[in-house]
Amino acid sequence: MLPKAYLMIKSRSAWTPAVRSSAYGANASLRNAWRAWKNVPDRVGPGLFPPELVVQVKALACELPAQHDVPLSRWSLEELTRQVRQSGLVAQLSQTTLWRWLHEDAIRPWQHRCWIFPRDPAFAAKAGRVLDLYQRQWEGKPLQDDEFVLSADEKTSVQARRRIHPTLPPQPGRPMKVEHEYERRGAWAYLAALDVHGPKLFGRCEATSGIAPFDRLVAQAMTQEPYRSARRVFWIMDNGSSHRGQSSVERLQSRYANLRVVHGPIHASWLNQIEIYFSIIQRKVLTPNDFDSLDMLADRLQRFERHYEAIAKPFEWKFTREELNKLVQRLHLPSQPRALAA
């Protein structure tokens, strides 16, 4: 609970609402009384704070605590409220009011998420190619009906964990119960490719990731119709060790004349739609993880592929070229096209 001493903080710049008192005296009219401030000529309304104060508080919320010599990594609502009072911006402010102000602009300083700053020198150009393909465009021209776009990657170390006591199904008033302790039954490297406009899925479990397992995934898709006889099949992939660099381009495109390798920017797997499918796998198949064997895990993954194809629709991808340009400008990244090494 906050100490009462904060009410005694004095500052020449502090705002103090005069809800129950009037700068014009006890006999002042209500019309004048509710407009009175101790240090400003008027305000918005009873119990409200002036807009300029709200702006200053929101600006403070968008700064790191270290900038104000506060030993915190991020603000909580309580700590931010205390800092606003101690900074002299306002003498009295409730957490409810502060939350309402921040909520107006979706400011949540108590939250954080990790990210990797785009440092690929050709980030904009490489990302643009991927986004164009999601919109069925390539080099400024629309794709034909017999041209396809596949997104591929590996999900490494997919473990099979056998619980030491059986999992109990849900009951009225009781959720499913999963034993905390388990025995490791091995792990797969799960490789998958998704037709982003299908959706059509190709997946396989391998003992390990690498060039040979990834090539088998490519063969699994490219030897089937309509990809085998397609005009072009664009394979979007990241820069993982099994399919990065010019060597992977030459290796794959020499085997399949209609295959085109499209590498995304370095450390930008979020542009690869197969990662969305992997997140679905994690939620719907692997959580909770309770498999007696690797064979049981592989069977579940393969059957889910067919289940997903029957019920899913293409992802509604909203990050477009326009959004990319905004990101480039906001991060001050180079936006001019560069020579791409695939």
| pTM score, whole prediction | 0.76
Domains of the chain: total: 2
Same domain? For 156 and 304 the reply is: yes
Paired strand residues for 218: none
Q: Which two tokens stand for residue 146?
A: 């017999």
Same domain? For 90 and 180 the reply is: no
Same domain? For 24 and 136 the reply is: no
What CATH number does the domain containing 309 carry? 3.30.420.10
Q: What is the pLDDT of residues 119-174, one digit of tens each?
A: 889 999 999 999 999 999 999 999 999 999 999 999 999 999 999 999 999 999 99
Same domain? For 131 and 210 the reply is: yes
Residue 341 inside a domain? The answer is no
Residue 336 inside a domain? The answer is no
What is the residue whose two structure tokens read 């911006």? 89
Dist CA 338 CA 121 (whole Å): 8
What is the residue whose two structure tokens read 């002299």? 88
Of 153, 167, 173, 341, which Cα lies nearest the Cα of 265? 341
Last residue of a domain, one of 104, 139, 162: 104
Same domain? For 43 and 15 the reply is: yes
The whole-number pLDDT of residue 42 equals: 41
Last residue of a domain, one of 50, 71, 104: 104
CB-based burial, 299-338: b 16+ in 10 Å, e otherwise: eebeebbeebeeeeeeeeeeeeeeebeebbeeeebeeeee
- Please list the pLDDT of the chain residue by residue as tens digits (342 residues): 444 443 433 344 556 554 443 333 334 433 443 343 344 444 444 457 999 999 999 999 999 999 999 999 999 999 999 999 999 999 999 999 999 999 999 999 999 998 888 888 999 999 999 999 999 999 999 999 999 999 999 999 999 999 999 999 999 999 999 999 999 999 999 999 999 999 899 999 999 999 999 999 999 999 999 999 999 999 999 999 999 999 999 999 999 999 999 999 998 999 999 999 999 999 999 999 999 999 999 999 999 999 999 999 999 999 999 999 998 888 887 765 544 544
Same domain? For 143 and 283 the reply is: yes
Same domain? For 162 and 282 the reply is: yes
Q: Which domain holds residue 259?
A: 123-331
Task: Tell me which long-range contacts 57-60 makes (C-beta under 8 A, separation of at least 24).
Answer: 57/84, 57/89, 57/90, 57/93, 57/98, 57/101, 58/101, 58/102, 58/105, 58/107, 60/84, 60/87, 60/89
Paired strand residues for 146: none
Same domain? For 141 and 32 the reply is: no
Residue 114 inside a domain? The answer is no
Same domain? For 33 and 144 the reply is: no
Last residue of a domain, one of 77, 104, 131: 104
Instruction: Please state, as a whole number, how many other Cβ atoms lie within 10 Å of the Cβ of residue 98.
Output: 20
Same domain? For 204 and 94 the reply is: no
Same domain? For 11 and 93 the reply is: yes
Residue 118 inside a domain? The answer is no
Give percent of the chain with pLDDT exceeding 90: 77
